[in-house]
């Protein structure tokens, strides 16, 4: 049995259910109480669980993540919210040097079971507020990085992340919050971290995507299908640990791959994917791994410029078409 809810509601349910299940689960972050959460995900939770379990914090991103880390060492299961992923830069030392490393560097004496919920996205927010850094997070050993595209995965992965003993960077997408989708009913819907999903089958090109770009990829696949090009679409869902086998298996029969993301082309997660795929699939590739990504420029405010830069379904179809124009190798 499923029920149709929004991505926002799915996340809200995940938080609420896990807080009901486990008294050690607490939320902390900026404006998550009275303001209602800047994207309204936590709305009402402070009324239900009280201000001890939904902790309003001052504006201090490093301090928020550090507090979560310390709380987890004290036996709790904190879910820290960083209002947007742009502000995560201020907490990067805490994430990279503390959260990601404690378990390893202290020889397994304790782990850091925190979730850092944050959000990427656009909307004429200009240069400093329109970035996304999943490629950076995904390069850090010790972190897990999750970026769900659908309400079902948002709910199932957030619940899994909260129960996971390792630090999980959970990146939502502002343009997905209102999207609706079927979610399994009940409070035991869990989606494993580290497993990609083939969400559309096809034999001509593999499109690897996650978060909002999954929707763009699916739209592109639909359009291309009408032209007779069948795309296989892989939703990564988890960026670290990367389910590279699922990608490799797909590319093994499509011989072509387009990897999609919203971070910068140079050094973004697409580069990580392209490097990995060309390494493991060299013999079967008929064309270079193509990347759909943000051009290497800060995002300007003006609507027309922003629209030119944000990757869309159109960018994906273009990339697929240009790949197909490259002759097979054999």
Ligand X SMILES: Cc1ncc(C[n+]2csc(CCOP(=O)(O)OP(=O)(O)O)c2C)c(N)n1
| Site residues, a second copy (CB under 8 A) | 86, 89-90, 92-93, 96-97, 100-101, 104-105, 126-128, 131, 135-136, 138-142, 240, 242, 263-264, 266-272, 274-276, 278-280, 282, 285, 287-291, 296-298, 300, 326, 329
Other CB atoms within 10 Å distance of the CB of residue 2: 12
Query: Please, what's the largest Cα pairwise distance for the chain?
Result: 65
Q: Which entry of ligand X, other proteins, a second copy, none binds 47, CB below 5 to 8 A by partner kind?
A: none
Is 244 or 284 the residue whose CB approaches other proteins more closely?
244
C-alpha span between 34 and 30 (Å, rounded): 10
Within 287-306, the residues that bind other proteins by CB under 8 A are 295-298, 300-305
Residue 180 within binding range of other proteins, rule CB under 8 A: no
Q: How many CA atoms lie within 13 A of 215 on its CB side?
A: 15
Question: Contacts with ligand X: how many residues (CB under 6 A)?
Answer: 6
Residue 20 within binding range of other proteins, rule CB under 8 A: no
Is 20 or 97 the residue whose CB approaches ligand X more closely?
97
How near is the Cβ of 86 to ligand X at its closest, in Å? 8
Whether 255 is a known active-site residue: answer: no
Residue 275 within binding range of other proteins, rule CB under 8 A: no
How near is the Cβ of 250 to other proteins at its closest, in Å? 15
Residue 108 within binding range of other proteins, rule CB under 8 A: yes
Determine which one of 17, 18, 30, 61 is catalytic.
Answer: 61
Part in contact with other proteins (CB under 8 A); list of ranges 87-95, 176-184, 197-205, 253-261: 87-95
Torsion angle defined by CA atoms of residues 291, 296, 298 and 301, in that order, rounded to the nearest 10 degrees: -60
Which one among 46, 78, 150, 221 touches other proteins, defined by CB under 8 A?
78
Whether 9 is a known active-site residue: answer: no
Determine which one of 56, 129, 230, 318 is catalytic.
Answer: 129
210 in Cβ contact with 239 (< 8 Å): yes
How near is the Cβ of 137 to ligand X at its closest, in Å? 17
Is 32 or 183 the residue whose CB approaches other proteins more closely?
32
Residue 59 within binding range of ligand X, rule CB under 6 A: yes
Q: How far is the CA of 96 from the CAs of 5, 109, 114, 213, 242, in angstroms?
A: 34, 18, 13, 26, 18
Within 15-54, the residues that bind ligand X by CB under 6 A are 30
Torsion angle defined by CA atoms of residues 217, 12, 31 and 163, in that order, rounded to the nearest 10 degrees: -90
Pairing assessment for the beta strands 115-120 and 168-173 based on DSSP bridges:
parallel
Residue 110 within binding range of other proteins, rule CB under 8 A: yes
Is 13 or 72 the residue whose CB approaches other proteins more closely?
72
The closest of 160, 163, 148 to 197, measured between CA atoms, is 148
Pairing assessment for the beta strands 197-200 and 231-235 based on DSSP bridges:
antiparallel
How near is the Cβ of 214 to ligand X at its closest, in Å? 27
Number of residues written out for the chain = 330
| Residues labelled as active-site residues | 61, 129
The residue ranges that bind ligand X (CB under 6 A) are 30, 59, 61, 83, 87, 90
């Amino acid at each position: 049995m499923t029920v149709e809810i929004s991505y926002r509601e799915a996340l809200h349910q995940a938080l609420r259910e896990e807080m009901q299940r486990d008294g050690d689960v607490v939320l902390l972050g900026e404006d998550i109480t009275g303001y209602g959460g800047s994207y309204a995900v936590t709305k009402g939770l402070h009324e239900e669980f009280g201000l001890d379990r939904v902790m309003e914090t001052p504006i201090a991103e490093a301090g928020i993540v550090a507090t979560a880390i310390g709380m987890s060492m004290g036996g709790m299961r904190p879910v820290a919210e960083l209002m947007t992923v742009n502000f995560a830069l201020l907490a990067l030392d805490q994430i990279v040097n503390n959260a990601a490393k404690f378990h390893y560097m202290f020889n397994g004496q304790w782990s850091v079971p925190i979730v850092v919920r944050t959000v990427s996205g656009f909307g004429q927010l200009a240069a400093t507020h329109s970035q996304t850094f999943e490629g950076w997070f995904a390069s850090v050993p010790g972190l897990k990085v999750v970026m769900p595209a659908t309400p079902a995965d948002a709910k199932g992965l957030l619940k899994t992340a909260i129960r996971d003993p390792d630090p999980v960077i959970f990146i939502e997408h502002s343009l997905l919050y209102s999207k609706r989708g079927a979610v399994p009913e009940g409070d035991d819907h869990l989606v494993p971290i580290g497993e990609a999903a083939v969400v559309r089958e096809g034999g001509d090109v593999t499109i690897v995507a996650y978060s909002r770009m999954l929707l763009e990829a699916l739209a592109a696949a639909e359009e291309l299908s009408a032209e007779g090009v069948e795309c296989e679409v892989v939703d990564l869902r988890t960026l670290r640990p990367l389910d590279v086998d699922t990608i490799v298996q797909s590319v093994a029969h499509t011989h072509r791959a387009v990897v999609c993301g919203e971070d910068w082309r140079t050094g973004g997660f697409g580069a990580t994917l392209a490097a990995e795929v060309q390494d493991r699939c060299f013999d079967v590739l008929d064309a270079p791994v193509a990347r759909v990504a943000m051009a290497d420029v800060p995002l300007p405010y003006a609507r027309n410029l922003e629209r030119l830069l944000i990757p869309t379904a159109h960018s994906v179809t273009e990339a697929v078409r240009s790949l197909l124009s490259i002759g097979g190798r054999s």
